[in-house]
Structure 1
Amino acid sequence: MAELLHNPEALSKLKLVNKQIVGKGKTSLNWLPYLQVVVKETFRLHPPIPLLLSRKASEDGEIIGFIVPKGARVLSMLGY
């Protein structure tokens, strides 16, 4: 949603295309190709992978003031 708010032209086109298609009673995602493109582009710009990958601390340490004990799972969310 944030990307669409930063790009009002794409948001307007998405609203128009979806209104035309849903107005015909077609609500399956197969009938909403522009929405599929918007979602794919969003995942290209902001991949969810950093949220899924965790690391295991090999030794006790400190990260930005937080103590991380050996063996703890650490999620790296670079760029956030």
Structure 2
Amino acid sequence: DRVVGTDRIMSETDISKLPYLQSIAKEALRLHPPTPLMLPHKANSNVKLGGYDVPKGGIVHV
């Protein structure tokens, strides 16, 4: 409540003032990384993946 208050929801700019929350997020990512076993792949040609344009030679994690 000291950092954010009770009259609004937390915003991204508040995170820098909340070191305990930062530590919790880092520990959660350390224990459960978002890309386990996802190795980088290099696109052999221009391709569209999930609505995103990936240029030839672009590196993606699939």
TM-score by length of 1: 0.34
Higher relative contact order (CA 8 A, sep 6+): 2
More helix by percentage: 1
Higher strand proportion (structure 1 or 2):
2
What TM-score do the two structures reach when normalised by structure 2? 0.42
